[in-house]
Amino acid sequence: MSLKLKFEKIIILMLLSFGTCTLAQNTKMEKSIVKSVDKNLPASIELLKKTVNINSGSLNIEGVRKVGEIYKAELDKLGFTTELTSGEEYGRAGHLIAKKEGKKGPKFLLIGHLDTVFELDSPLQEFSMLNDSIMKGPGVADMKGGDVIIILAMKALKESGALDDMSVEIIMTGDEEKSGSPIELSKKDLVEGAKRADIALGFENGDNNPKTIVVSRRGSEDWQLTVTGKPAHSSQIFTENIGAGAIYETARILNEFYLQLAKENDLTFNPGFILGGTNVAPNEDLTGGTAFGKNNVVAQKAIVHGDLRAVSPEQLQKAKRIMKEIVSKNYPKTLAELLFDNEGYPPLAQTEGNMRLLEHFNKVSQNLGFGAVEAVNPRNAGAADISFTSGYVAMALDGLGLTGGSGDHTVEEMGNLNTVGVQAKITAVLMYRMMQQNIKN
Q: What is the pLDDT of residues 204-233, one digit of tens each?
A: 998 889 899 999 999 999 999 999 999 999
Poorest-confidence range of 2-16, 86-100, 384-398? 2-16
Residue pair 310/347 in contact (Cβ under 8 Å)? The answer is: yes
Cα-to-chain-centroid distance, residue 374: 17
Would strands 279-282 and 374-375 be described as parallel, antiparallel, or unpaired? unpaired
pLDDT for position 25: 55
DSSP 32-81: HHHHHHHHHHHHHHHHHHHHHTS--BTT-HHHHHHHHHHHHHHHHHTT-E
The sign one gets for the Cα dihedral 5, 8, 12, 17 is positive
Evaluate whether residue 4 is within a structural domain: no
pLDDT for position 16: 38
Model pTM score: 0.86
Residue 244 clears pLDDT 60, i.e. is over it: yes
Which residues touch 417 (CB under 8 Å, ≥6 apart)? 45, 48, 133, 134, 135, 402
Residue 4 clears pLDDT 80, i.e. is over it: no
Q: What is the CATH number of the domain that holds 76?
A: 3.40.630.10
Same-domain status, 202 and 70: yes
pLDDT for position 287: 82
pLDDT in tens, 55-101: 999 999 999 999 999 999 999 999 999 999 999 999 999 999 999 99
Same-domain status, 370 and 425: yes
pLDDT for position 2: 47
CA dist 193 to 120, 137, 352, 441, Å?
31, 30, 21, 17
pLDDT grade for 19, boundaries at 50, 70 and 90: very low
Residue pair 85/189 in contact (Cβ under 8 Å)? The answer is: yes
pLDDT in tens, 319-346: 999 999 999 999 999 999 999 987 788 9
Q: What are phi and psi of 82, to 5 degrees?
A: -120, 155
Same-domain status, 152 and 249: no
pLDDT for position 341: 87
Cα–Cα distance measured from residue 341 to residue 420, given in angstroms and rounded to the nearest whole number = 37
Residue pair 97/173 in contact (Cβ under 8 Å)? The answer is: no
Cα–Cα distance measured from residue 51 to residue 172, given in angstroms and rounded to the nearest whole number = 14
Higher pLDDT pick, 14 / 180: 180
Residue 23 clears pLDDT 60, i.e. is over it: no
CA dist 174 to 9, 100, 116, 117, 263, Å?
58, 21, 9, 11, 36
pLDDT for position 379: 84
Same-domain status, 322 and 389: no
Element (H, E) at 27: none
State which of 340, 363, 380 marks the end of a domain. Answer: 340
Evaluate whether residue 19 is within a structural domain: no
Same-domain status, 193 and 227: no
pLDDT grade for 7, boundaries at 50, 70 and 90: very low
Same-domain status, 67 and 164: yes
Higher pLDDT pick, 15 / 290: 290
State which of 340, 363, 392 marks the end of a domain. Answer: 340
Evaluate whether residue 71 is within a structural domain: yes
pLDDT grade for 382, boundaries at 50, 70 and 90: confident
Same-domain status, 319 and 366: no
Evaluate whether residue 230 is within a structural domain: yes
Evaluate whether residue 30 is within a structural domain: yes
SS3 384: coil
pLDDT for position 43: 98
Evaluate whether residue 12 is within a structural domain: no
Domain that holds residue 390: 25-217+348-436
Evaluate whether residue 164 is within a structural domain: yes
Minimal CA–CA distance to 317: which of 264, 366, 355? Answer: 264
pLDDT for position 381: 74
Q: What is the CATH number of the domain that holds 302?
A: 3.30.70.360
379 burial level (CB within 10 Å; 0-12, 13-18, 19+): middle
Which residues touch 234 (CB under 8 Å, ≥6 apart)? 295, 296, 297, 298
| Letter string b/e over residues 319-336, b meaning 16 or more CB atoms within 10 A of that residue's CB | bbebbeebbeebbbbbeb
Same-domain status, 247 and 318: yes
Same-domain status, 354 and 254: no
pLDDT for position 67: 98
Same-domain status, 247 and 371: no
Minimal CA–CA distance to 29: which of 428, 438, 381? Answer: 428
Sheet with 219-228, strands from edge to edge, namely: 268-277, 301-310, 219-228, 335-340
State which of 323, 340, 357 marks the end of a domain. Answer: 340
What average pLDDT does the chain have? 93
Same-domain status, 308 and 373: no
The whole-number average pLDDT for the span 44-64 is 98
Same-domain status, 318 and 229: yes
Evaluate whether residue 1 is within a structural domain: no
Q: How many domains does one find in the chain?
A: 2
pLDDT for position 284: 86
